[in-house]
Amino acid sequence: MMSTQVKCMSILLLFAVLPLVFILVLNDGTFRYSLDDAYIHLSLSEGISRFHYGINPGEVSSPSSSMLWPLLLAPFARSPVHEYVPLAFNLVCLILMQTVMRRLLEKTLPTSGALCVNTLAIGIICITNQIGLVYTGMEHTLHNLLCLVLLLKVIDQSSTGAVQRMLVLAIIALPLVRFEGLALSISACVVLMMQGKLRTGLLLLAATLLLLGACCLFLHSLGLPALPSSVLVKTSLDQSISTPFRYLTTRILEALENPRAIRLIIIWAILFAYIINKWKTKDCIFALFLFVPVTAHLLFGRYGWFARYDAYILLTSFTGGFWLFRRCIGKWFSSDGPVRKKVLSILLVAAVVCAPELRATVLTPMASNEIHRQHGSMRILVAESFNDDVIANDIGLISYRNENKIVDVAGLSCERARVAISCKETAWMDEICVENNVAMAVIYTRAYRDVIPGDWVHAASLILIGPLFVVPERSVDIYITDRDRAEEVYSALDRWEPTLPAGTELQLVSER
């Protein structure tokens, strides 16, 4: 007979595969990730497989927020299964996550039984959108797995005094997978030093910073900023350095208006109170370990975007809380009353707290369908019907398996555009168009209304029918940027229109 652990892993895998079934049904058999960003990593990994760091051939760029994730995908770039490798990696990481979570909960509830612990582990994983993150096709599942591994090994180290290999691996790898992991890695090194492992903690801290610094030097050697463009575009690091007081005030005011941030502020306050109450105890050190990354995320982190930016800190603090309050939880589980009701109570509270994450999991198939209808359709226009260089503001799917140049006006793979947006220039889009000699642009008009050149011709719009879940705009607008090549664009639109999937509509704005 199968063990309880194998049965629970099978149940989790079944839950994880359900969104895939709905995705294939909604997309008429075509698999798409729930975010366009996944295809940025895939496109970059194609370049890396050819010993080139960038999306466009011959043009270096750093559009990926992760230094390690595209490298893991690169060996498969010339394989027909390349597109599905992130999904396979994430499913494996999800199963491993359940194993690590189970071991963490076993330490908290050693007498509660395998079924109770496994049910809690699966429930927390589902409630915190870990299944939904699998289908983003990005590095978040690996990152969250490493967070749990770090959590487990810090607890083991505090109990045994031994620094295990997996602790070393997690500390070094976390910031390479996502830069947010640096706070957790530094915190773990500080914990080691506080527990008498001064030399080990310093060596690990130095190794982590040196590896991260080497990645930054590599980007700098290519003539790029030391940090990836996606990090610079999506954060306000320059403002935090130049005007720290103003930055801090703005962050506090924004946090008080954001329910996700308020949730994290409550966690921060609980940890702060715990540290004050348990000062100079062993548990205080573990509370400090959680306190540092929570504080860092409140100061520099982002929230939401399909429940992925703050997923790691929510999972880490929630799971770490089980260990922190293990005595209270243990007494409660040892008291009279069915254990299953107590497990259900914990999961119900978690479901209420993590309602945005649950919503993202449920909406994952619909998000994939949106990417299929909008970005998948634009890919056919750009790579097949038009088959030439274009200007675009979403560069993932349209650049994947496409040898034509994609001029990115969002600034992820075009440093000129990123700097222009940061400096609030006005004539930069026309300059980029002339420099790259492109005849067509596919962009969200509302995002660039003030900088779209007046001589561009709005030829058509692709309209999504129905509610929106992840794409920022219902309409992608198609512009003719070179009037001498207008017929090429109109002919491409004629070839493209019959390929459009259900739930989309092509509206012609200007005639030939």
For the chain, the structural domain boundaries read: 4-362, 364-508
* Cβ neighbours for 122, distance < 8 A, ≥ 6 positions apart: 8, 11, 12, 15, 98
For residue 384, the model assigns a pLDDT of 94
Spell out the per-residue pLDDT of the chain, length 512, in tens. Answer: 457 778 888 899 999 999 999 999 999 999 999 999 999 999 999 999 999 999 998 899 999 989 999 999 999 999 999 999 999 999 999 999 999 999 999 988 876 778 888 899 999 999 999 999 999 999 999 999 999 999 999 999 988 888 999 999 999 999 999 999 999 999 999 999 999 899 999 999 999 999 999 999 999 999 999 888 888 887 755 555 557 778 788 888 888 888 899 999 999 999 999 999 888 778 899 999 999 999 999 988 888 888 899 999 999 999 999 999 998 888 888 887 788 888 899 999 999 999 999 999 999 999 999 999 999 999 999 999 999 999 999 889 999 999 999 999 988 888 888 888 888 888 899 899 989 999 999 999 998 988 999 899 999 999 999 999 999 999 999 999 999 999 999 999 999 999 999 999 999 988 76
Nearest-angstrom CA–CA distance, 436 and 398? 17
Phi, psi of 439 (to 5 degrees): -110, -10
Find how far residue 3's CA is from the centre of its chain.
34
64: region left, alpha or beta (phi > 0 left; psi from -120 to 50 alpha): beta
Q: Cβ of 251: how many Cβ atoms within 10 Å? A: 18
Residue 179: both structure tokens together? 């830069």
Exposed/middle/buried for residue 12 (C-beta within 10 Å: 0-12, 13-18, 19+): buried
Contact at 8 Å (CB) between 383 and 401? yes
Among 88, 97, 85, residue whose Cα is nearest residue 9: 97
Note whether 251 and 265 are within 8 A (CB): no
Residue 441 sits at φ, ψ, to 5 deg, of -130, 140
Q: How far apart are CA 309 and CA 301, in angstroms?
A: 8
The answer to whether 38 and 138 have CB atoms below 8 angstroms apart is yes
Partners of 464 in beta bridges: 504
Looking at residue 427, its pLDDT comes to 85
Torsion sign, CA atoms 220, 223, 229, 233: positive
CB burial of 375-395 (b: ≥16 within 10 Å; e: otherwise) equals bbbbbbbbbebbebbbbbbbb
Query: Architecture of domain 364-508 in CATH?
Result: 3-Layer(aba) Sandwich (3.40)
Q: Bridge partners of 463? A: 475, 505
Residues with Cβ within 8 Å of residue 355, at least 6 apart in sequence: none
Look up residue 325 and give its two tokens.
């309050």
> Rounded CA gap, 225 and 235, in Å?
14
**Could you tell me the sign of the dihedral formed by the alpha carbons of 292, 295, 299, 304, in that order?**
positive
Q: What's the CA gap between 451 and 424, in Å, rounded?
A: 10
Q: Given strand 504-508, what is the order of strands in its sheet?
A: 406-408, 390-392, 440-443, 475-480, 457-464, 504-508
pLDDT the model gives residue 2: 59
| Rounded (10°) angle between helices 181-194 and 140-160 | 10
- Least Cα distance to 140 among 312, 303, 264, 290 occurs for 312
